[in-house]
Chains A and B, each alone.
Chain A
């Protein structure tokens, strides 16, 4: 156990910190979160500056417009920590740079990489992910949006749902059933679809937060070149799973949890009823310390998972402690965010349910928004119940439930 960083890493940190201090005025407003789905010139200029210094697209090869450095998880962690600490945007993120680009690097053709990686990391092309459908949620492989062949094109019909940023996106990477005779998992392809293609209709999907964070996307006879398939036809399920692998793991969210906890403490110091600050209320502060233990545990846990990554141990190895440890992070982190927001609201009482810019509202209704939004995160990306199945089956090697009707 050794939790300090080697001198060369501390040097990197010092340089980065100085850079952020000197250039923070050039960053787009909106704080530490990476911008998504934006073509805002300030964000694009900031991203360009970050790539030049190796603070964004760091490990993307130079020939695709990246900085071209070797992968180094510790530098990744330092980048996350320092941008969070400075409260400055870490550049352009979202599903294009974070999920599609690594997938193209692993599975894309040369032509696909040349064409899409550069514009995506520069923020010129915005992507959305077309996986979920009305009948393919927890049972994701049940995708029914289908493609029929017509010369060198596919003709796509069907519907996607929960499509974040679809209303802003230039392109979609999606799972489409291209091989109707094949098995449920083997009939899918990973397809890149221009959102301007005739026959695509995007309808915003309002959520309980009152904002439209998602969309429904309808496909009616949408023509897509067959050359837009990533990897081979019928390999879509496998490739989609590698995309999911690239989803940011706990590392980033541990920093977010710590930042969220600090905001919660501030809120509980600021809020008073009957002359007593919320943080001095014995019941509320008991809840606060309970959550703090979990935030600290999550910080320690992400350091543990980081170490597994550094040692190239497969943290997902079935039936081991480390394997189970890697599987619990989503369940744990989303629940904790939800609980923190719940405590902030309870600390404010009636004030906590003010919303939509009401008089007396605090911090633009942030906590109420987070309380609802984090419930969405508990459900999205694999519900808590699906996570528990995975933990039990892969982490504890418990047998699968027998399938109804012998389905495979």
Chain B
């Protein structure tokens, strides 16, 4: 019985946070996020060098061969830094999807992912909740339709497009008949896109053959755990900022941290955060070690972190008072990061509905 991070995992967290504090502090985050693709090739190369880009890629393919818990720790650090980096789609969802791919598909993509040379966007929203004017369909091996909120689309070289519960298509960004339009969300640290498919022939199909069932569900579970971890990291940062600010800001002749009204807001944030941290670790562990529980735990982790996450970033803003509402102060980076995370791959109500349907 050992529920906690290993020394290696703690080291990963420390190393990553130190690097991000150094090379991607909020001032640099703002520069990157104001670029068209919200992507910094140099930063991604550094992360690849650390082994972060390919941590879920098997060692035989040049990656770290690590587990989702390790990826969750990395994602948490990226959330903590509000770091613009295509980790979710390229380094979490793509390796999980490609694990069901053919040896040739794996050889073609996984080593390049691990080296930081290939970026993949992921279109999964259409199998989670399809809008009236969107949705994907396949006819005669060709793709038609519209995929919304495609993840990490800014600099993606290719897209993994979930068609149904068992099949994912791989389409190059410059594929004939594909139009990519970046969308503007409140969160400028990441780019989501609309993909319009007009008779597009995928370069590859992953899944859709014997022995691969529930591929999309597996990808969604990994993504939901990772998003929960991103929220966790963002909330940690928001609380750090709020507590530090409350200790130094004086009103009525004393630090506002001495007022119980302020203290209790901070205590409520941490009282929600710590059990949530345990939940995220548990869901990430279960993904690899308790597959029969994994999907339900991922739903719980994402839905719960979405709920407490929005409350925490809002509360952290209130602790700051007016300064927290300004553009010049950095707190809103995390407020907005959580705002986007909350909706991606299913908002909390949608996820709870699925959790209920799975059980009762």
Contact = CB atoms under 8 A, between A and B. Distances in A.
Interface of A: 1-5, 9, 74, 77, 265, 269, 279-280, 282, 285-286, 288-290, 292-294, 296-301, 303-304, 306-308, 310-311, 321, 324-325, 328, 331-332, 385, 387-389, 391-393, 395-396, 398-402
A400 B3 CA distance: 33
B264 A385 contact: yes
B107 to A, nearest CB: 31
29 contacts: A1-B4, A1-B285, A2-B2, A3-B285, A269-B360, A279-B356, A282-B353, A286-B356, A288-B356, A293-B300, A293-B301, A296-B282, A297-B279, A298-B275, A303-B3, A303-B278, A303-B282, A321-B277, A328-B271, A385-B264, A388-B263, A391-B267, A392-B257, A392-B263, A392-B267, A395-B270, A396-B270, A398-B246, A399-B247
B36 interface: no
Given A1-B281, A324-B274, A296 B300 contact: yes
A294 B275 contact: yes
A296 B297 contact: yes
List the 7 closest A-B pairs by CB distance, nearest first: A300-B282, A388-B267, A297-B279, A303-B3, A392-B263, A300-B278, A391-B267
A286 B360 contact: no
Contacts of B271: 328, 331-332, 388, 391
Interface string B1-32: 11111100000000000000000000000000
A81 to B, nearest CB: 12
Contacts of B270: 324, 328, 391, 395-396
A299 B300 CA distance: 13
Contacts of B360: 265, 269, 279-280, 285
Contacts of A392: 257, 263-264, 266-267
Interface in B234-274: 243, 246-247, 254-255, 257-260, 263-264, 266-268, 270-271, 274
Max count, chain B CB within 10 A of own CB: residue among A77, A391, A396 = A396
B99 interface: no
Give the interface size class of chain B. 35 or more
B3 A293 contact: no
B349 interface: yes
A389 B262 CA distance: 10
A332 B275 contact: yes
A399 B282 contact: no
A296 B263 CA distance: 27
Contacts of A388: 260, 263-264, 267-268, 271
Contacts of B5: 1
Interface of A (DSSP majority class): helix
A236 to B, nearest CB: 27
A71 to B, nearest CB: 15
A325 B304 CA distance: 17
A307 B274 contact: no
B279 A5 contact: no
B94 interface: no
B276 interface: yes
B170 interface: no
B217 interface: no
B56 interface: no
Contacts of A2: 1-2
Given A3-B3, A285-B360, A395 B275 contact: no
A157 to B, nearest CB: 34
Given A1-B285, A286-B349, A290-B352, A396 B267 contact: yes
B257 A399 contact: yes
B274 A294 contact: no
Given A388-B268, A392-B257, 7 more contacts: A293-B300, A297-B282, A304-B3, A307-B4, A328-B275, A389-B267, A399-B258
B153 to A, nearest CB: 30
B40 to A, nearest CB: 29
Nearest to A1: B285
With a 10 A CB-CB cut-off, give which of B259, B275, B279 has the most chain A CB atoms: B275
Contacts of B3: 1, 3, 300, 303-304, 306-307
Contact of B258 (A279, A282, A298, A402): A402
A395 B300 CA distance: 26
Nearest to B264: A388
B57 interface: no
Nearest to B297: A296
Interface string B210-233: 000000000000000000000000
A292 to B, nearest CB: 7
A285 B267 CA distance: 29
A325 B3 CA distance: 14
A3 B300 CA distance: 19
